[in-house]
Copies of this chain bind each other. A is one copy, B any other.
Amino acid sequence: MAITLDSTAPDFDERFAAFLETKREVSEDVDKVVREIIARVREEGDAALVAYTNRLDRNDLTAATLRVGAEAFEEALAAADPATVEALELARDRIASHHKRQLPADDRYQDALGVELGSRWTAIESVGLYVPGGTASYPSSVLMNAVPAKVAGVERIVIAVPAPDGILNPLVLVAARLAGVTEVYRVGGAQAVAALAYGTETVAPVAKIVGPGNAYVAAAKRQVFGKVGIDMVAGPSEVLVIADGDNDPDWIAADLLAQAEHDTAAQSILITDDGGFGEAVAAAVDRQLKQLPRAETASASWRDYGAVIVVPELADAVRLADRIAPEHLELAFDAAEEVAAKVRNAGAIFIGRHTPEVIGDYVGGSNHVLPTARSARFSSGLSVLDFVKRTSILKLGTEQLRALGPAAIALAEAEGLGAHARSVAVRLNL
């Protein structure tokens, strides 16, 4: 059973602080193993990539069969349930149309001195998308990563997805196909990250690697960071639902469980101003757990990390929400819009009683790759901005150089950088 906290209790601050500090992830120390894997793939290329893949994924590939053939995409599409394909198409189109609004505008202007300044955005040339294998091999995540990259204008998008025991989720190929990605390799783990970062004979290197993965993938991304760009290192998922007593406890319980079923380390939190409602939701969670296919995962998550926090007024929840900085924040009460405007730290906000977070996982149009583990305090969900970069532009004529040059020389000299000073002075005959 999840913990219950009463915000008016004398020890609340202490208990809430301890709750925030609870570590939900065992941080495996895999750095050394990962370092070896990366070094070997760098040195030996395909030979190492194939050897690791066959050993770790119990697979039987050669350099020639690492890449998924063109026909496999068509086969997967033809074999898929049409309703699923249609839903993926709807998701793709809604993600594309929302993310198009995120394309940043170039800027170029002249200031009062006549200095021209600018910012110009261009797409990253090539991006690698890591897709986990096994049960967490989600076609929706393929869309959430690949579609924004496409919208940004990335020319080459490469998917690395392990095929443990030779099994690849066909819906991953369908999603790739619908997103317009045709370069997919059956590789995973640190060896896949190494291949994407440094390249092998078969896999050309990319400039940036995105997508979630296990501890090995996360450690490998950290290690290749700098050689290539990486996105955030994702932790287990979480939801904070703020709800009043006018909700159906069954609805809110279902939302808490949707998060909990992801992972035993996922976290579901309810804040309510109605203690009786909180108890009703907890009871509904227990009832629903009995019917869930992933009951084991969900019940471990709810038992170990779930929480019901009772506050005197829902408005008080804003302060707590900002400290929790949840990946997902659901606001299920009438004044949701006003409260949403006051929240600062949240990856995504789902407003009102008819916006379950699950809509955002699939077909809302916004991205489901969001900052976890309190990182909404300093980072954002995945967007088109993750697939573009900005070049700044500066242009002076003789007059502008005369106007700004002396100050640049003064600062260069103050910093002891004589050649800096000279590079301006020589042009001004100083």
A350 touching B380 by the CB < 8 A rule? no
Given A229-B378, A258-B419, A424 and B86 contact (CB-CB distance below 8 Å)? no
Complex Cα distance, B412 from A357, in Å, reads 12
B361 touching A420 by the CB < 8 A rule? yes
Complex Cα distance, B365 from A340, in Å, reads 35
Q: Within 8 Å of chain B (Cβ to Cβ): is A18?
A: no
A415 touching B139 by the CB < 8 A rule? yes
What interface size band does chain A fall in? 35 or more
- What distance in Å separates the Cβ of A256 from its nearest Cβ neighbour in chain B? 9
Q: Which of these, B102, B390, B412, contacts A381 with CB under 8 Å?
A: B390
Q: Which of these, B98, B393, B414, contacts A351 with CB under 8 Å?
A: B393
Q: Within 8 Å of chain B (Cβ to Cβ): is A53?
A: no
B contact residues around A395 at 8 Å (CB): 337, 350-352, 355
Given A251-B427, A354-B427, A288 and B422 contact (CB-CB distance below 8 Å)? yes
Given A125-B344, A405-B359, A257 and B423 contact (CB-CB distance below 8 Å)? yes
Q: Within 8 Å of chain B (Cβ to Cβ): is A7?
A: no
Q: Which of these, B90, B229, B414, contacts A375 with CB under 8 Å?
A: B229
Q: Which of these, B171, B358, B380, contacts A408 with CB under 8 Å?
A: B358
What are 27 A-B pairs with beta-carbon distances under 8 A? Answer: A116-B351, A117-B366, A119-B383, A139-B411, A140-B415, A222-B225, A226-B233, A226-B235, A251-B427, A254-B419, A254-B422, A258-B423, A294-B418, A337-B395, A348-B392, A349-B392, A349-B393, A350-B394, A351-B394, A354-B400, A356-B427, A358-B420, A359-B401, A359-B408, A361-B408, A362-B407, A385-B385
